[in-house]
């Protein structure tokens, strides 16, 4: 443990760094293309595209500047202007990175579309954002056509039909030297949509000044160094991948790996080995997949980090032996970026505490509020996880696009508290422990139960691949717990297995908090980013209960 004096010195140094970055990214003359590309040495490698050719394709800042200038000139010739929304439906490629920088050079706003989206999800976001153009890969064009995207101009990267615009033609046609738009630190560069875990996706505008927080996370949360080979395996169609696999590295001038194609455990190990990755960030499901496959890289990692959903204990039981390090859990949101981390940087690094997502990131002040008021609760008491906006210089979220009522629900006390929508508790040392989303908390006979803690215990059973725990109505107790589980291959449903799961929770968590019923399912409903949609599970189980009642149809 560090001494009080060293802790204070670390806090002062971090605060100084926060202020310096805010001065850069929040400046009234801030220019996204300059900050993310032009200010870096032209010969420095911005990113390496893995899978496109043996050894990867290195993209230098000089190359990206020249190509994005030409594409931005062509976009301007099409009538696109500063402030216009431009969507991308693209895999991780050179064309993708060039497109982003061209959009920002133009002064436009990038709207990310996940490549696994079906046409309705694409249509929803394009319409909500009022996107004027869509740049898509050739293999995504059919979905764009089916989405009926209105008057948006479609630009195809790859083999484009004769009646559509070709990305490569536009790139060749545009002259270099297109001037980068100066929009200021408050201008948006991204309009991203939430994952829809608890309802319809909502639009979030990300301003240039948010880059200060993204870079702080890269430095303190992940401890990315110049000597590292850094790989954030998250998809840039979602916040964690876009913010920290693309934006933060480009802002900091740090080389980032971007792997083409879909995920496989074997492919991931191959990349770790071939490129000598030392600093890895990925979702818990990635680490669980490696564990299930029994695979590990040839050399240990220096840092391994996780975000997107709570990290369950079995991952670290495996990772120390397989990866050479513990996987450190981090917490954030689309609306803020990362907020709470088990920091990797040595001056803030603390020993892991079981179940904790870490401590506040520099520049943010998370708190726990009472369930029914804005009063701060005492330590170890579950409540609503909130952000003290007045004490968080890195806060940038101002509300959802065209959704004033949803925006109002996120702030209380005249904007003092931003409500994350999650419940948590904190200990006397400032470590935070995730419990659940506010609407996922189960209240049984007066006890507040966070499903994540119960799920973590169930997942220790060798037969269970995935699980989620939800509330079911109960006349006596108000609510009781029910579990939906996915079995590993080779295991079968039985009353004995159900009894084992229930006993495991009773002994491993709490005697009263065991699932009264265990439902065996083939898969759990998830958002495209991999988060379990508990509200759908709740409805499915209630439908099953209703149908099982006498006289039901």
Distance CA 295, CA 283 (A): 17
pLDDT band at 200 (very low <50, low <70, confident <90, very high): confident
CA-based end-to-end distance of the chain: 62
The CA distances from residue 87 to 37, 149, 167, 527, in Å, are 20, 11, 14, 20
pLDDT band at 553 (very low <50, low <70, confident <90, very high): very low
What pLDDT sits at residue 549?
A: 58
Q: Is 256 helix (H, G, I), strand (E, B) or coil?
A: strand
Using only C-alpha atoms, what is the Rg of the chain? 24
Sequence-separated contacts (24+) of 264-269 with Cβ below 8 Å: 265/289, 265/290, 265/292, 265/293, 265/295, 266/293, 266/295, 268/233, 268/295, 269/295, 269/296, 269/297
What pLDDT sits at residue 448?
A: 55
What pLDDT sits at residue 62?
A: 98
| pLDDT mean over 81-102 | 98
Residues ≥6 apart with Cβ < 8 Å to 429:
359
Residues ≥6 apart with Cβ < 8 Å to 247:
36, 190, 211, 214
What tokens does 226 get?
């110049």
What pLDDT sits at residue 347?
A: 94
The CA distances from residue 384 to 200, 406, 417, 421, 426, in Å, are 22, 17, 11, 7, 11
What tokens does 47 get?
């990113």
For 21-58, the pLDDT digits (tens) are 999 999 999 999 999 999 999 999 999 999 878 889 99
Mean pLDDT estimate for the chain: 91
What tokens does 116 get?
């696994």
Q: Is 292 helix (H, G, I), strand (E, B) or coil?
A: helix
Distance CA 483, CA 517 (A): 6
Asked if residue 117 has pLDDT above 90, the reply is no
DSSP 421: E
| pLDDT mean over 495-524 | 90
| pLDDT mean over 122-129 | 93
Residue of 136, 173, 176, 175 whose CA lies nearest to 155: 136
pLDDT band at 199 (very low <50, low <70, confident <90, very high): low
What pLDDT sits at residue 183?
A: 98
Domain annotation for the chain: domains and CATH numbers: 451-548 (3.30.300.30)
pLDDT band at 551 (very low <50, low <70, confident <90, very high): very low
Beta strands across the sheet bearing 45-50:
57-60, 45-50, 256-259, 230-232, 279-282, 303-306, 327-333, 337-341, 359-360
Asked if residue 534 has pLDDT above 70, the reply is yes
| Percentage above 70 pLDDT, the chain | 93
pLDDT band at 279 (very low <50, low <70, confident <90, very high): very high
Distance CA 355, CA 311 (A): 8
pLDDT band at 552 (very low <50, low <70, confident <90, very high): very low
Asked if residue 81 has pLDDT above 90, the reply is yes
Asked if residue 197 has pLDDT above 80, the reply is no
Asked if residue 436 has pLDDT above 80, the reply is no
Of 51-55, 185-189, 352-356, the one with minimum mean pLDDT is 51-55
Distance CA 37, CA 443 (A): 50
What pLDDT sits at residue 310?
A: 78
For 136-173, the pLDDT digits (tens) are 999 999 999 998 888 999 999 999 999 899 999 999 99
| Percentage above 90 pLDDT, the chain | 72
Say if strands 303-306 and 327-333 run parallel, antiparallel, or are unpaired.
Answer: parallel
Asked if residue 446 has pLDDT above 60, the reply is no
């Amino acid at each position: 443990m560090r001494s009080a004096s060293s802790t204070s010195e670390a806090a002062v140094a971090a605060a100084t760094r926060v202020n310096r970055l805010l001065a850069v990214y929040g400046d009234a003359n801030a220019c996204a293309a300059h900050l993310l590309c032009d200010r870096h040495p032209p010969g420095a490698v911005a990113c390496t595209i893995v899978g496109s050719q043996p050894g990867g394709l290195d993209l230098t800042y000089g190359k990206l500047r020249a190509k994005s200038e030409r594409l931005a000139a062509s976009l301007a010739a099409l009538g696109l202007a500063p402030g216009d929304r431009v969507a991308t439906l693209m895999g991780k490629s050179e064309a993708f990175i060039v497109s982003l920088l061209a959009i920002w050079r133009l002064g436009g706003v990038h709207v990310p579309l996940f490549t696994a989206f079906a046409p309705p999800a694409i249509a929803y976001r394009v319409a909500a954002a009022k996107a004027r153009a869509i740049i898509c890969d050739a293999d995504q064009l059919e979905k764009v056509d089916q989405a009926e995207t209105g008057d948006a101009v479609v630009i195809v990267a790859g083999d484009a039909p004769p009646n559509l615009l070709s990305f490569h033609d536009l790139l060749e046609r545009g002259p270099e030297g297109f001037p980068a738009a100066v929009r200021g630190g408050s201008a948006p560069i991204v309009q991203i949509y939430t994952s829809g875990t608890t309802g319809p996706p909502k639009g979030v505008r990300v301003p240039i000044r948010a880059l200060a927080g993204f870079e702080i996370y890269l430095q303190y949360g992940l401890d990315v160094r110049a000597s590292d080979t850094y790989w954030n395996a998250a998809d840039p169609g979602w916040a964690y991948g876009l913010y920290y696999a693309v934006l933060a590295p480009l802002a900091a001038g740090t080389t980032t790996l971007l792997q083409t194609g879909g995920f496989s455990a074997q492919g991931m190990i191959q990349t770790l080995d071939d490129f000598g990755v030392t600093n890895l960030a990925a979702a818990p499901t990635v680490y669980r997949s490696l564990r299930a496959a029994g695979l590990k890289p040839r050399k240990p990692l220096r840092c391994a980090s996780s975000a997107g959903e709570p990290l369950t204990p079995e991952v670290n039981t495996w990772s120390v032996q397989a990866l050479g390090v513990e996987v450190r859990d981090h917490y954030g949101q689309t609306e803020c970026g990362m907020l709470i981390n088990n920091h990797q940087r040595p001056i803030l690094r603390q020993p892991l505490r079981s179940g904790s997502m870490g401590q506040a990131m520099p520049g943010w002040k998370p708190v726990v509020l009472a369930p029914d008021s804005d009063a701060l609760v005492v330590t170890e008491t579950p409540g609503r996880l909130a952000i003290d906006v007045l004490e968080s210089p890195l806060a940038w979220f101002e509300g959802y696009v065209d959704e004033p009522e949803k925006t109002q629900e996120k702030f209380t006390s005249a904007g003092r508290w931003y409500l994350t929508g999650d419940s948590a508790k904190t200990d006397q040392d400032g470590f935070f422990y995730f419990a659940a989303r506010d609407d996922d908390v189960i209240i049984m006979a007066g006890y507040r139960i966070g499903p994540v803690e119960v799920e973590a215990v169930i997942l220790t059973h060798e037969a269970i691949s995935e699980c989620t725990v939800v509330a079911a109505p109960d006349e006596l107790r108000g609510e009781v717990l029910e579990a939906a589980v996915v079995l590993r291959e080779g295991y079968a449903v039985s009353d004995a297995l159900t009894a084992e799961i229930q006993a495991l929770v009773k002994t491993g968590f709490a005697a009263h908090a065991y699932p009264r019923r265990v439902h065996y399912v083939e898969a759990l409903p998830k958002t495209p980013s991999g988060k379990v949609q508990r509200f759908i599970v709740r409805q499915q189980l209630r439908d099953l209960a209703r149908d099982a009642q006498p006289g039901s149809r």
